[in-house]
Amino acid sequence: MFSLRYRYLFILLLAVYSFLNILFTVGTKLLDVEIPYFYLFGLIGVEILLVWELNRFVERRLTFLHQLLGKKIHALIILFVCSMVNVVIASILSLGALYAVLQHDIVWSTNHLVLVLAFGFRVNLFLNCLNAIYYYMERLKKSELKAERLEKVSIEAQFEALRNQINPHFLFNCFNALSTLVYKDADTSAKFIAQLSKVYRYLLYNQEKKIVSLNEELEFMDSYLFLLKIRFGDNISIEKNISADANKFFIAPASLQMLIENAIKHNVVSTKNPLKIKISSQNGSIEVINNIQEKAVKEDSTFIGLKNIKKRYEFLSDTPVEIVKTHEEFRVKIPLLQLEN
């Protein structure tokens, strides 16, 4: 707040208000002696200006002070404590300036300093209250903006995940696999249809959610991986190693599915070159790894899936998504989320 563009206008208005208030209560005898109106206003204005500017000096270095103290003390408390020191400095300087101007009429007095300090502390308390309101309003605005941006990114992610599933190529492969199964294995065909419906139900029901439990995501992945195994058979190998405490974690919906879809899209999946995918969780993160065997003719890609996952997690976690590509494998590590109590 202290660095507002129109701060000097605000300082002037506060000085005028304080001046009128003092005139109404004690007149021109703020220091128990008669002071000309102009000098009284000057004393008030100079003290408010000094308090404000000294607080602005501290505010601009608040991040450094906050880090210096190990972020154990709230930034507003640090600013308020420093502002108390600023009041003392401003009071001594403004009273000294008044003495210099009226030295033939007034002499140094501890009582005068106490009165000026009392006025300074009152003004400082008012300014810090306004600053706290401003601080939390700015945080609220940033939180609302962040929530809006996250909602937009989440909707884009769900749309991308759903689009991947309803594109003609995917549907053709699913129906082709189903048509073959119908004549060979009626039970597996029924299970295939049930798992396909679960995939769509999950995507549709969770498209507006920011996060889902890891257990929900893994149940969805079981259905999705079942479809892949029917489609690709032994041409795709999927290994899961999830820790037992998965029930306490959360994840952005459909993020694992998008990573697997990305691996299938860019790599050869064949009997000669089976695609190997590993899904594992450890140390508060979940990792998807696939071997690299890039297609000779690469599909056009905008990398929307990976970009979207990274954007979503910029909002959801301080831990970034890690993407590592080597000659042998492609790995993506996603932080698992925990809700605060």
The tens digit of pLDDT for each residue in 278-313 reads 999 888 899 999 999 988 776 655 556 687 788 778
Q: Which residues have C-beta within 8 Å of that of residue 9, sequence separation ≥ 6?
A: none
SS3 60: coil
Domain total for the chain? 2
* pLDDT at residue 298, rounded to an integer: 66
61 lies in some domain: yes
Q: 278 and 176, same structural domain?
A: yes
Banded pLDDT at 162 (limits 50, 70, 90): very low
Q: If you average pLDDT over residues 109-135, what whole number do you get?
A: 81
Same domain for 179 and 69: no
Place of tokens 């989320």: 337
- pLDDT score of 165: 47
Decide: 234 and 197 in contact? Cβ < 8 Å: no
**Residues 180, 281: one domain?**
yes
Q: Which amino acid is at 156?
A: E
Q: Are residues 217 and 304 in the same domain?
A: yes
Shared-domain flag, residues 191 and 245: yes
In a domain, 341, yes or no: no
Structural domain harbouring 204: 167-335
Same domain, 47 and 186: no
Domain boundary among 92, 113, 145: 145
In a domain, 322, yes or no: yes
Q: Using CA atoms, how far apart are residues 230 and 174, in angstroms rounded to an integer?
A: 9
Asked if residue 172 has pLDDT above 80, the reply is no
pLDDT tens digit string along 258-273?
888 888 888 999 999 9
Whether residues 242 and 132 fall in one domain: no
Instruction: Give, for 267, the enclosing helix (H) or strand (E).
Output: none
Answer yes or no: is pLDDT of 66 > 70: yes
E strand or H helix that includes residue 334: strand 329-335
pLDDT, position 242: 86
The rounded mean pLDDT for the chain is 80
Q: Which residues contact 287 (CB under 8 A, 6 or more apart)?
A: 278, 279, 280, 281, 331, 332, 333, 334
Which structure tokens are listed for 149?
Answer: 């941006």
Instruction: Give tens-digit pLDDT for 1-58.
Output: 676 677 778 778 877 877 787 777 766 666 666 777 778 788 888 888 888 888 888 8
Give yes or no: residues 106 and 194 share one domain: no
